[in-house]
Chains A and B, each alone.
Chain A
Amino acid sequence: MIAALVLIPILAAIACLLIRDSRRLGAILIATATIHLILTGLCWAFEPGGLWQGWLALDEAGKLFLTIVSVLFAGSALYLQEYFRREADSPHESESVFIACLLFFLATMTLVTVSRHFSLLWVAIEATTLASAPLIYFHRSPGSLEATWKYLLICSVGIALALLGTFLLAAAGTAAPTPVELSVADLTIHARELDPAWLKAAFLFLLVGYGTKMGLAPMHSWLPDAHSEAPSAVSALLSGALLNCAFLGIFRTLQVCTAAGIDKFAGDILIAFGLISMGFAAIFLLRQVDYKRMLAYSSVEHMGILTLGIGLGGLGSFAGLLHAVNHSLTKAALFLLAGNIIFAYRSKSIESVSGLFGRIPATAILWAAGFFAIVGSPPFGTFVSELTILRAALQQGHGWIAATYLGLLSLALIGMAGAVLKMLYGPSSSQGPLPENRLSLITPLIFAVLVLALGLMIPSGLSRTLASAAALIGGTAP
């Protein structure tokens, strides 16, 4: 099953490179996304077996992130069907290369979620960078070239540091009396025998390395450019799926640190990175002129929130993982809607968009709902996860962390509210409502409904998975 999850997108990608007929390309994309989604669903029903002596296996955390990737990819694939028709007249990359890269991207992200060995995990995360860079360069504009170059350079420095971190982890392993494999299982079993100083150094390098890819401040500088220049469906995948995959790299490291009993050290650093990211994002959200960049900075903020969550540990770990789910769905919906707005207004600047309700009403309603969800207002799922993180901070007696957290959340809320209100209301152009395509609305609608549903009730299956994933890093369920 795991092999199929990884190999089917690769085979489909190769098929895309050979076929150039755009109608059939769309069908391949949808078919692959559907098969991937079904296989992922099957993973919830039956435990898939491991491969390669456990190098590839699906644990609860992997299953959670695999599901996020698969759901988001299926949604984006649906959205892209309409997107290509819209963009037919503007200059862009050939569709077959684009869709092939998209499918490779899916394969590499899937590989990240099933990697249970630090070397393989590193290779998979490196591969996500290579597969996704051409996607950002889709529009072939000077802006997207700059964004792609920045993305490649900054993320590969991150990847290089993560490799150094992996080496340091291996160095820590040499302290054990018996040779330790770099697999997650082996390292957690022998965690107490690892050299603590080298393990700490490894944690720092892996955090900075994968944190670059995850968009933690101050290593986030590639993120706003890449997210704003990429086609909207790609931005949705970058923000909702890729950042989580990088997070999984940090999660695995934390797993080893928890087993080794240095979770206090790791937790404090994670809390610091979380708050710094939220702070950076809040500042840039306050004076943002481009609404796609606004969404990108909001991603930095939310990565900060979930890093803070798992840094706090206990209840916070559970809430952080829940927040990853909520954020992915909400942000993907918002990026896809942003694509609709760009299509209607031909501009990414907040200044030139006004009167959304009059012009594209269906998109506007969803955009408003998405805004309420992303700032964490009830009854959306984000509210539940953000509140639980606050509770975790208070429970552990971190009064000042809770206060800073609340302050930064409200700053981000103020920054985004101004922009979103201006876009929704304000004078509409006299032309009246534009026709909206159903395909470009269905995915955001589904995602918004899912986030709403998660706010009202967390299904017991998901709750169990979240709890056992959180338990891997010493977390507890509420």
Chain B
Amino acid sequence: MQEWIDLLMVLVAVTNLAILGVSRLRTCIRLSAIQGALLGCLPLMVGPLESWGPILLALVTIAMKGWTLPWLLERSLVEAHVQREVQPFVGYNASILIGVIAIAASFWLNSRLPLPFTPAGTLMIPSAFFGVLTGLFILVARRIALNQVIGYLVLENGIYAFGLVLMPHQTLLVELGILLDLFVGVFVMGIAIFQINREFDHIDADRMTGLRDWSDE
């Protein structure tokens, strides 16, 4: 089972790298959906299958991260009229390079912090750290609100993967990670309702009148 878990974690890391290098928002959303679905399979491999807990967790995760959130994101993508991020703070090639450095950093962190127990997969912790670093990087390196939300999703997925490492030892902890999805939902709603396309200095007064209409309803 360990090889399968590690293979899955490699795939997750690959989606992270791909998200770093892609400018088309729709592709980014699809990639985050794939990542969510991959992570959704993980509880089935890690957790003891005698109980219903891991199966339920897997179903909820796939439903949330693999389907609901990407669907919401795509919908607001249509409403916000943006296709791709043209001028990110850090370019796409540089982003991939930084991603590679982040992988190295994650392995270094992993070697510095040996776990008191043997995790289900040796690549779980480095991959989780990599997700966290990637997410944080996207949050600061991209301008478009939608891309920042994807960054947050990636960050969250990293934290979720870390929580899965602990699943056999702590009950009810990973499930908390699902609550973070609430924020993503709120962000997406924010984008959809307020049409936050760019940084704030670009929100112009025209759009804000639309806002008032909404509040009058």
Binding site for B on A (CB under 8 A): 91, 93-94, 119, 122-123, 126, 129-130, 133, 140-142, 145-146, 149-150, 152-153, 156-157, 159-160, 163-164, 166-167, 170-175, 179, 182, 195, 197-198, 201
Interface segment, one of B16-24, B29-37, B70-78, B172-180: B172-180
**Per-residue A-contact encoding for B127-143, CB less than 8 Å = 1, 0 else:** 00000100010010000
Which residues of B, 97-124, contact A by the 8 Å Cβ criterion? 112-117
Could you tell me which residues of chain B, from 167 to 217, have a CB within 8 Å of some CB in chain A?
Answer: 169-170, 172-173, 176-177, 179-180, 182-183, 186-187, 190, 194, 196, 200, 203, 205, 208, 211-212, 215
Q: Is the interface of A mostly helix, strand, loop or mixed?
A: helix
> B200 to A146, Cβ gap below 8 A?
yes
B173 near A160: Cβ-Cβ < 8 Å: no
> Quick one: which of A141, A145, A164 has the most chain B CB within 10 A?
A164
* Residues of B contacting A152 in the complex (Cβ-Cβ under 8 angstroms): 183, 186-187, 190
CB-CB < 8 A to A129: which residues of B?
A: 183
Please, which residue of chain B has its CB at the minimum distance from the CB of A150? B200
Q: Is the CB of A130 within 8 A of B156?
A: no
B13 at the interface (CB under 8 A from A): no
Candidates B132, B173, B187; contact of A170 at CB < 8 Å: B173
Which 5 pairs, one residue from A and one from B, show the smallest C-beta to C-beta distance? Answer: A175-B116, A146-B200, A156-B183, A170-B170, A174-B116
Query: Which of B113, B136, B139, B211 makes the CB contact (< 8 A) with A201?
Result: B113
- Cα of A130 to Cα of B163 in the assembled complex, Å: 23
Known contacts: A163-B176, A171-B115, A195-B116. The answer to whether A153 contacts B186 by CB under 8 A is no
Q: Does B63 contact A (CB under 8 A)?
A: no
Q: Residue on A with the closest CB to B203?
A: A142
Given A145-B203, A157-B139, A157-B155; A179-B169 close (CB under 8 Å): yes
B194 x A145 contact (CB < 8 A): yes
The 19 sampled A-B contact pairs (Cβ below 8 Å) are A119-B176, A140-B212, A141-B208, A145-B200, A145-B211, A146-B200, A156-B152, A157-B139, A157-B152, A160-B152, A160-B156, A160-B159, A160-B180, A164-B132, A167-B173, A173-B169, A198-B113, A198-B115, A198-B116
Report whether A142 and B183 are in contact in the complex, using a CB–CB cutoff of 8 Å. Answer: no
| Nearest chain A residue, comparing its CB with the CB of B155 | A160
Q: Is A167 within 8 A of B159, CB to CB?
A: yes
**Majority-rule SS of B interface residues:** helix
Contact B182 A197 (CB under 8 A): no
Q: Is B148 an interface residue (CB 8 A)?
A: yes
Contact residues on B (Cβ < 8 Å of other chain), bracket: 35 or more
Q: Which residues of B contact A166 (CB under 8 A)?
A: 173, 176
State whether A119 touches B169 (Cβ < 8 A).
no
B135 to chain A, nearest CB (A): 8
For A133, the chain B residues whose CB sits under 8 A away are 186
Interfacial chain A residues near B132, Cβ < 8 Å: 164
Cα A28 to Cα B117 in complex, Å, equals 53
Known: A119-B173, A159-B180, A174-B116. A164 touches B162 (CB 8 A): yes
A228 CB, nearest partner CB in chain B, Å = 14
User: In the complex, A149→B166 CA distance in Å?
Assistant: 33
Decide if B69 is an interface residue (CB 8 Å cutoff): no
On chain A, the residues within 8 Å of B25 by CB distance are none
The answer to whether A170 touches B203, judged by C-beta atoms less than 8 angstroms apart, is no
Which one of A123, A142, A173 has the greatest number of beta carbons of chain B within 10 Å?
Answer: A142
A173-B211 in contact (CB<8A): no
In the assembled complex, B12 has its CB within 8 A of some CB on chain A: no
A453 vs chain B, min Cβ distance (A): 41
The distance in angstroms between the C-alpha atoms of A350 and B212, with both chains bound, is 29
User: Which chain A residues lie closer than 8 Å to B176 at the CB level?
Assistant: 119, 122-123, 163, 166
